[in-house]
Amino acid sequence: MAFLTVTLALSSLLSSLLAQEIITYSIEEETDIGQQVGPVFADAGLESDEQIARNGYLVFTDETSSAASLFSLSDGRVLTVGDRLDRETLCSGREDCIIDLDLQLEPQSYFQIVKVQVRILDINDNAPAFTGPVVSRSVSEAASVGFKIPLPSAIDPDSPANGIDHYWINSTNGIFELDRASNPAQFLIVTDQLDREELDSYRIQLTAIDKGNPPRSGSTILHINVVDVNDNLPKFDNDTYYVIIPEDFPLGLSVISVHATDRDVGANAEVLYGFDATTELKYGDYFSIDQNTGTIKVTKDLDFETMSAASLMVTATNSDGTSMASFTNVHVMIGDVNDNAPEIRVRGLRQGNVVYKEETSALDDFVAHVSVTDPDSGANGQFECFLSGNTFKLVKMYNTDYVIHNNIPLDREYQAEYNVVITCADKGARRQTEIQEIRIAISDVNDHAPVFSKPQYYATIVENNAIGAPVISVTAADPDAGPNGTVVYAFLDDVDDVLDINRNTGLITARTPLDRETTESITIRIVASDLGTPRALSATATLKVDVIDEDDNPPAFAQSQYTFWISEGQSIQSFAGRVKASDPDGDSYNRFGYFVDYDGGDSEAFTIDRSNGKIYTSRVLDREQHPVYVFGVRAVGEGSSPPKSDACSVRVYLTDINDNKPRITFPTPSNNTVYVPNDVDVGDVIALIDADDADDGNNAVLTYHIVSGNEGGHFSVTTDGRVTVAESLRRFDQRAFGLVLVVTDGGAPSLSADSYLNVVVNASLSRAASGLMSRHNLTIVIGIATASGLLMVVLIVAIVVLLRWPRMSSAARKYNYVARQLDHRLNVGGGGGPEKGRLSFDGRTSADVENDKGSTNGPTSHDVSVERPHSNGEVLYKERDSAVFGFNANIKDKTAAILTHSDGGSCTTGTPRWLFSTLSCDVIQSVRQKANDSECSSSSSAVETDSGRGSHEDVVLDNSPIKTQLDRSRDVNELQRPNHLPLLNPLYAESRHAVEQSPSVNWPPPAHNDYLRHPSKDDYHTQITDRTAPHYPHRGTADVYTTSSYDPGIPRDQTPGYSWQSLKVSSEVTV
């Protein structure tokens, strides 16, 4: 690694603007590229300023100079070697090798010049060298002792410190020795008499040794020829010549003439002149010598600045070439003349001699750096410079460096360019002057924001416009130049889905059709921005766009359906409600009227004010006749063709007033007596008060009271109208009670009705004869004493009709079925309000009663009438049958099944098939059941039927190792709880029947299981599911599934005598 030394030298600065150090570094030649020369940024003291230390950096003032190519600036702060440093190439012939570097601090707002001198230190990398491997010299054999023979000079391009130190010759047997009078020796001295006849030549090795450590050397062979005696050698007039010539000495003009004489005569007296080999090598391009006259001339322009002196070794020989040569030195001193005018270089000049300066309001700001050089010496190389005009001034920093500053603020918008002239003249007697004209162009700084032509813009556009329709153009101007003065436009507010703006022109267009009804006006902010750097400037303006209305919207109701409530019985023109429509168009188009769609129905009961939509009654309304009115209302626009309109539906509910008293249908004056035995239990029901109220809500909620005739309090009435035994009647053998019953509604004020019930107590009556079964069954004994015989006849006839009905042709018979639900017996959905049933039928001999709204939650009484009309409209036959069913009915669930006998139309009702739920289990076996009812061949398809007697069915269990016969006859009472069935006995393996093959039945698992106690086996239960039976067609099968019985406390495998099989029971339905 080459050795590096760094020194700092302080110089006196001529400028007070910047007190700078001239920084000197020393570095050995051939130092590796990239090696640090010195931390020039820190050595220049630039780190003392915090802002400069953070943002500043150094660059070469002239990047194209040869000196700058030798070095690099790492990060703008450290000077490093950038190329090979060869001192012998860079500074040939000079003792000192100094490279001057000019650095400047950037950015220009921090501008400073940093002067750096790099001294290239020599290393001994060159050995001395002679002009050739052999050098010849001649000496006369008559040469006396002490005669000097000139030695050839070796050349060492290294610096004098490593230059030639001395010469050395090998042994010459005492004939020759080196002249020690000079060092290095320049002559070889003859030390003994020469004798050509004895030895005519000598070969001596001449070695040159330099001063390096370790030293280097170079050798040549000095060939000395001993010639015949020649009494006289050429002799110069002077041993040394001196001459001074100016550097601008004319080419071809004689510099000096040397002269040598030879006292011989003839050919031996002719002298020829020349340069020795070393001189020819070094100066042969600049000088020549006439071999006959000895005149030396200049053959190439001289330059004092590169060569100030030349030492020429001149030889003189006889013309025959056999004589020895004589030598003389001609020292030519080259004098400086003022041949160079100062050279002006403006750093940063661009094409056209233009310097760019950013506009600034600051005074005395840096504009340009001017470097001036003059290679002349003395006064010829000294100069002074001037600047034209008063806008700028020239400030001297160093002898060779100036900076241009501005005297006034620079504003490009005021003046964009200045022409200035720099004049520099040296101080020589014959003054040389240099003039440099430059243009200072003021580059733009983004110091102006765009300005809109107006702060607020207004525009209009008609709604339903075309996409791309122009709205308005906005313009803004910016006096800056280039990107700083280029204006682009944008919206500050988010309206890109509605409006569009041309970025370059400011034209605003509609991106979509506008709707005044949703957007009456648009107010947005527009921003105009320049493209300046490092920060763009902008301005804003406001634009308001009003959307002009068109008649493009029909009136529209606020609701598609309006619901109003009004009390029944109000006078004509009572206010019922108001509908409201609106037209989103403006006032010019927002005109319309209201009209009722009169269709001859509900709308005839109302009128409407066409101006405001208020609805009034046109007659007195009765809820019991018409509880709800539904009609249409239209809003029709005015002024458009065709007129635009909208419609809505109006529903008016009449709220009830208590204008109907209760109606009692049992007991009535013609049917008001019941017979009971005296052994009835306390709590048994002996009669059911049948009453209703045409009103609604609380006005139809009935309460029942015994107001007289109940001496002793033997009877009481429940909240649902059941007359029960309150005190034991056993002490009466025969007694009649006349009870006055009052039924009161819940209106305010309330209305009531009364009736009379005769209760006949007779000890001779049995419970069975009276129809009283148990205290848990509904015991209704309805008798009319005067018609008991007739009633028995009617019952017999009805049975006969039922038996004959399926075999009779139905073509000639038609019956009307009417189902009426006792409203006070029914609670729907927990709301407490009555709900009417509906009777639907298909065919002429059967019908079903189904629920049409909500769920019941208690016993429900149905009053079913069958009428046979005559062709003339009279009723030929009419029969009514009532039943109470304990049933939780959902919508569409069947609550009763009706069969009519073929003659007379008497009806048979009972526990309907629809009341029963299906039964299921995990493993299902097929069982086929055939119904058998001798009294009515058309029976319900329920598992358990009640046609007045029990049924007996044979069941065959197939696909099972156990063959069994099951008696499926069960009684079902009217108040059987929903989702429960009379429990089946466990299956006994007693008899064997034929096996019927049937496919297995896949049925979904039950929703939940209910375990009921077996009526005859206290320890065993039957499992059933809460699943409603499917709807049965008139012909088809109904399936019922059940699991086997088991005792929850006894493991199944320990329960003897019981089969754990499942049944599929099917009934054929014939209607």
User: According to the 3-state scheme, what is the secondary structure of 941-953?
Assistant: CCCCCCCCCCCCC
End-of-domain residue from the set 317, 335, 353: 335
Q: How far is CA 266 from CA 230, 263, 312, 320, in A?
A: 13, 10, 29, 11
So what's the pLDDT on residue 770?
59
pLDDT tens track for 274-299: 998 888 888 999 999 999 999 999 99
Tens digit of pLDDT for each residue in 602-661?
889 999 999 999 999 999 999 989 999 999 999 998 877 788 899 999 999 999 889 899
Tell whether 954 and 1068 lie within a shared domain: yes
Mean pLDDT of 1010-1014: 32
Does residue 354 fall inside a structural domain?
Answer: yes
| Residue 128: inside a domain | no
- Round to whole Å and give the CA distance between 948 and 971: 10
Q: Helix (H, G, I), strand (E, B), or coil: what is residue 108?
A: helix
Which whole number is the average pLDDT over 921-927? 30
Query: Taken in order 492, 493, 496, 499, is the CA torsion positive or negative?
Result: negative
Q: Tell me the per-residue pLDDT of 710-726, one tens digit each, with 9 for 90 and over.
A: 988 999 999 999 999 99
Arithmetic mean of pLDDT, 467-481: 95
Q: Cα(696)–Cα(623) distance, rounded to whole angstroms? A: 9
Token match 């099972």: residue?
Answer: 960
Domain-located, residue 877 = yes
Residues 240 and 300 in one domain: yes
Residues 101 and 62 in one domain: yes
Compare 509 and 965 and report the one with higher pLDDT.
Answer: 509
> Residues 156, 48: one domain?
no
Distance CA 909, CA 915 (A): 13
Q: Which has more pLDDT, 814 or 55?
A: 55
- pLDDT of 977 above 90: no
Task: Compute the distance between CA of residue 664 and CA of residue 739 in angstroms, rounded to an integer.
Answer: 14
Supply the pTM of this predicted model.
Answer: 0.45
The answer on 919 and 881 residing in a single domain is: no
Distance CA 596, CA 609 (A): 9
Write out the two tokens for 292: 């006959």
Does the structure show a pLDDT above 90 at 943?
A: no
Which residues make beta-bridge pairs with 119? Answer: 26, 98
Q: Are 958 and 926 in contact (CB under 8 A)?
A: yes
* Alpha-helical regions (H) of 758-813: 767-770, 788-804
C-alpha span between 408 and 396 (Å, rounded): 19
Asked whether residue 973 carries a pLDDT value surpassing 70, the answer given is no
Report the pLDDT averaged over residues 424-428: 91
Residue 198 lies in a domain: yes
User: Over the stretch 825-878, which tens digit does the pLDDT of each residue have?
Assistant: 233 333 333 333 434 333 334 555 555 545 555 445 555 555 545 444 554 444
The C-alpha atoms of residue 38 and residue 25 are separated, in whole angstroms, by 7
Q: Which of 34-38, 328-332, 593-597, 1004-1008 has the lowest mean pLDDT?
A: 1004-1008
Count Cβ atoms within 10 A of the Cβ of residue 664 and give its class: 0-12 exposed, 13-18 middle, 19 or more buried: buried
- 319 & 457 share domain: no
pLDDT on residue 893: 54
Q: What is the mean pLDDT of residues 484-507?
A: 94
155 shares its domain with 186: yes
Between vectors from CA 733 to CA 729 and to CA 738, what angle results, nearest 5°?
Answer: 65
For residue 398, what pLDDT band results from cuts at 50, 70 and 90?
confident
* Same domain as 1068, residue 929: yes
Pairing of strands 433-443, 354-358: parallel
Number of separate domains in the chain: 9
With beta carbons less than 8 A apart as the criterion, state whether 24 and 7 touch. Answer: yes
Tell me: do 530 and 608 sit in the same domain.
no
Residue 944 confidence (pLDDT) above 50: no
- Whether 162 and 96 share a structural domain: no
Last residue of a domain, one of 855, 886, 909: 909
pLDDT tens string 119-161? 999 999 999 999 889 988 888 888 888 888 888 888 888 888 8
Show which of 335, 353, 377 is a domain's final residue: 335
Cα dist from 904 to 274, 556, 848, whole Å: 173, 60, 19
For 903, the domain range is 792-909
127 occurs within a structural domain: no
Q: What is the mean pLDDT of the chain?
A: 74
What mean pLDDT comes out for the span 1032-1048?
Answer: 34
The CA-CA-CA angle for residues 576, 657, 821, to 5°, reads 115
pLDDT of 1063? 34
721 SS3 class:
coil
Residues 607 and 525 in one domain: no
**Residue 129: inside a domain:** no
* Inside any domain, residue 511: yes
Rounded distance between C-alpha atoms, residue 14 and residue 759, angstroms: 148
Tell me, yes or no, whether 126 lies in a domain. no
C-alpha 439, offset from chain centre: 54
Is the same domain home to 771 and 680?
yes
346: which strand partners?
Answer: 370
Residue 717 half-sphere exposure toward CB, CA atoms < 13 A: 21
What is the domain-level CATH number for residue 98? 2.60.40.60
Contact 383, 428 (CB under 8 A): no
The dihedral formed by the CA atoms of 1045, 1050, 1053 and 1057, expressed in degrees to the nearest 10: -50
Supply 855's token pair. 């769920």
